[in-house]
Chains A and B, each alone.
Chain A
Amino acid sequence: MAKFKKKGGKGTPAISTASLPDIIFMLLFFFMVTTTMREATLLVAVTPPQATEVQKLEKKSLVDYIYIGPPLRKVFGTESRIQLNDQFATDIKEVREFVELGRSQRDESEKKLITISLKVNKDTRMGIVTDVKQELREVGAFKINYSTAKRAIAKK
């Protein structure tokens, strides 16, 4: 008994901090994995419409985004515009170049699997969306996804 008493008497023993870096790395890795980096800074305001029949977009590496909405900065006007990568598209034909560019960045086997995600503001008129869709058809990018937020299904 006396043996134990002797030891416990003097202050608290230092706790090993050797595992602290592990914890920090865990944190770091966690956020590295979960954070999805937005490739482009948004220049247009996009509030997606809501829908109930939504599907998850798989394989993010095979998705290219086209944003359509009113510009965030009022100097560019209030009319909806198309944003490809980091710029406004000045001409509808630029959609083709955008798709081609996306294809050239992928492997041959993946080219058929590229999905174009249309992130369109809900108040945008269909005209501009139809134009983009026509361009996509012309250039052979048939897989598209209308980006929508999930709406909870109302109980009946």
Chain B
Amino acid sequence: MARPVNEINAGSMADIAFLLLIFFLVTTTMDVDTGITRKLPPPPPEDVDPPKVKDRNIFKVLVNKNDRLLLNGKPGDISMLRIMAKEFLNNGNLSSNLSPEDMPEKKSVEIPLLGGEIWVSKGIISLKNDRGTSYNMYIQVQNELAAGIRELRDELSNEYFGMRFDQLADQDKIKAVQKAVPVAISEAEPEDIGGN
């Protein structure tokens, strides 16, 4: 004769499940992919000469194979890069087209949200690296330049909208600030300068 099977007490099962849950919650690292997003330029047309850009509009950043920097012809350090890039791209007075001799020229852009016609710096940061440059250094340079641009955008955004650039929710405002402070980084066509 079969004995009636005792029901197993499963009251603590939920506790075990929760323990498991908490264990996994703590141990899983949800790998969020992060990175620096950039847009590559289209390949240059073969029969057209590259546009001439005035010297005062370019800030040259060279990285050699030993990860040393040359900023506008002078040896520099990575810690100076952000400040120099900011100074170069800084566009103090948006409503005037005047700029000092050693600063980049300005061009007029229509941005209604920032008060109609404003003058945006024509400055371009020209980044050139060697084939032997380490990727880490390249990213650090990109990072510093991005940081400089981000700070400029924050300043502008603070002035006009009273909050930081990354706090802006309105797409039009984001577009306006992006237009006023563009990511003006140009990467030179690769050349083999120093070998591997």
A contacts, CB < 8 Å to B: 12, 14-15, 17, 19-20, 23-24, 27, 30-31, 34-36, 48-49, 51-57, 60, 63, 115, 117, 120-127, 129-130, 133-134, 136-138, 140-150
B48 at the interface (CB under 8 A from A): no
Query: Which chain A positions have C-beta within 8 A of B41?
Result: 137, 142
Mask: chain B, 130-162; 1 = CB below 8 Å from A; 0 = not: 111111101110110011001000000000000
**7 residue pairs from A and B, CB less than 8 Å apart:** A15-B11, A27-B24, A49-B135, A126-B130, A136-B40, A137-B41, A144-B38
Q: How far is the CB of A19 from chain B (nearest CB, A)?
A: 8
Supposing A115-B37, A124-B134, A127-B132 touch, asked if A52 and B196 sit within 8 A by C-beta, the answer is no
The one of B7, B36, B131 in contact with A126, judged by C-beta atoms closer than 8 angstroms, is: B131
Q: How far is the CB of A102 from chain B (nearest CB, A)?
A: 16
The one of A53, A56, A145 in contact with B143, judged by C-beta atoms closer than 8 angstroms, is: A53
B contacts, CB < 8 Å to A: 7, 9-11, 13-14, 17-18, 20-21, 24, 28, 30-43, 129-136, 138-140, 142-143, 146-147, 150, 190, 196
> Could you tell me the distance between the alpha carbons of A133 and B167 in the complex, rounded to whole angstroms?
32
Query: Which chain B positions have C-beta within 8 A of A55?
Result: 34-37
The one of B11, B13, B36 in contact with A145, judged by C-beta atoms closer than 8 angstroms, is: B36
Query: Which chain A positions have C-beta within 8 A of B36?
Result: 51, 53-55, 145-146, 148
Q: How far is the CB of B183 from chain A (nearest CB, A)?
A: 11
Supposing A20-B10, A27-B20, A36-B30 touch, asked if A145 and B37 sit within 8 A by C-beta, the answer is yes
Q: How far is the CB of B130 from chain A (nearest CB, A)?
A: 7
B135 touching A122, Cβ below 8 Å: yes
